[in-house]
């Protein structure tokens, strides 16, 4: 009877669990009533695809194999297999651009793009790391009127605008948090200053929401009036 090596089929985490109960045994796994891709029902496969994509993104931006192994609790060989696999789960390539953000959003992975942008491109301060670990809802990428954003900490001087040219040239969307009925710029204050200096009225934006009350309020007042950007 022909059999397949479980290590070639199952993800490492699942294989270790099976080995606890049936290491070295020949198992028969019956088919379900409907043939579905592995992990389709539980969503685990989707989680692995997102994880693997993040690993490849981080490696491409200078994170070492050893650092990735420690971060994701994987062996060095497992990380290398993910990085060098010719069969990529999703054909998405991270870049700090609007086009890349829209591609991720269309693929249901906007949160992964935001993490890559903040960690790999912006290299945010440690104070924002805790913010990224919290659960958030993301609305976007949408065309958003900049006049609604609170001016806190935003300077419109010539020097600030000139310094931001390099950032705006790559056209990343703005990350704006909606909290207690107001909009705040999370990280890109120099980019927002440059846009305002150039008198840009509306700009591609991702709205970040945390509290359920804020989400309901936002959807009531803005959910049906902001236009999604589907193609960059």
Task: Judge whether 2 lies within some domain.
Answer: no
Task: Judge whether 27 lies within some domain.
Answer: no
Q: What pLDDT band is residue 68 in, cutting at 50, 70 and 90?
A: very high
pLDDT over 80 at 212, yes or no = yes
Task: Judge whether 33 lies within some domain.
Answer: no
pLDDT over 50 at 169, yes or no = no
In this prediction, residue 167 carries a pLDDT of: 47
What does the block give as tokens for 83? 């990085």
Same domain assignment for residues 108 and 162:
yes
Axis-axis angle for helices 44-60, 65-72 (nearest 10): 150
pTM beyond 0.75: the answer is no
Same domain assignment for residues 114 and 55:
no
Give the pLDDT mean for 28-55: 69
Nearest to 217 by CA among 139, 147, 146: 139
pLDDT over 70 at 31, yes or no = no
Identify which has the larger pLDDT, 127 or 168.
Answer: 127
pLDDT over 50 at 14, yes or no = yes
Give the domain extent around 15. 11-20+41-91
In this prediction, residue 186 carries a pLDDT of: 86
Contacts (Cβ under 8 Å, ≥6 apart) of 108: none
pLDDT over 50 at 166, yes or no = no
Identify which has the larger pLDDT, 171 or 134.
Answer: 134
Sheet with strand 137-145: strands edge to edge: 137-145, 202-209, 174-179, 182-185
**Average pLDDT value over all residues in the chain:** 82
Task: Judge whether 29 lies within some domain.
Answer: no
pLDDT over 80 at 161, yes or no = no
Most confident range, picked from 78-87, 99-108, 147-156: 99-108
Rounded to 5 degrees, what angle do the CA atoms 141, 172, 174 make? 60
pLDDT over 60 at 41, yes or no = no
Task: Judge whether 25 lies within some domain.
Answer: no
Identify which has the larger pLDDT, 129 or 93.
Answer: 93
Identify which has the larger pLDDT, 73 or 127.
Answer: 73
* Number of domains composing the chain: 2
Q: What pLDDT band is residue 3 in, cutting at 50, 70 and 90?
A: low
Task: Judge whether 229 lies within some domain.
Answer: yes
What does the block give as tokens for 217? 């309020």
């Amino acid at each position: 009877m022909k059999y397949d090596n479980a290590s070639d089929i199952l993800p490492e985490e699942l294989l270790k669990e099976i080995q606890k109960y049936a290491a070295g045994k020949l198992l028969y796994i019956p088919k379900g009533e409907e043939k579905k891709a592995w992990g389709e029902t539980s969503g685990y496969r989707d989680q692995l695809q997102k994880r693997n994509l993040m690993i490849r993104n981080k490696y491409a931006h200078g994170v070492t194999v050893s650092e990735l192994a420690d971060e994701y609790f994987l062996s060095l060989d497992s990380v290398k297999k993910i990085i060098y696999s010719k069969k990529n789960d999703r054909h998405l390539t991270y870049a700090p651009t609007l086009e890349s953000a829209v591609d991720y959003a269309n693929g249901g992975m906007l949160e992964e793009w935001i993490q890559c942008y903040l960690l790999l491109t912006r290299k945010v301060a440690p104070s924002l790391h805790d913010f990224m670990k919290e659960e958030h809802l993301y609305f976007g990428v949408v065309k958003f009127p900049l006049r609604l954003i609170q001016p806190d900490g935003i300077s419109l001087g010539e020097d600030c605008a000139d310094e931001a040219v390099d950032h705006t040239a790559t056209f990343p969307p703005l990350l704006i948090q909606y909290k207690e009925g107001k909009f705040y710029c999370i990280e890109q204050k120099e980019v927002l200053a440059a846009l305002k200096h150039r008198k840009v009225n509306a700009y591609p934006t991702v709205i970040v929401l945390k509290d359920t009350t804020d989400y309901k309020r936002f959807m009531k007042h803005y959910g049906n009036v902001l236009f999604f950007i589907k193609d960059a």
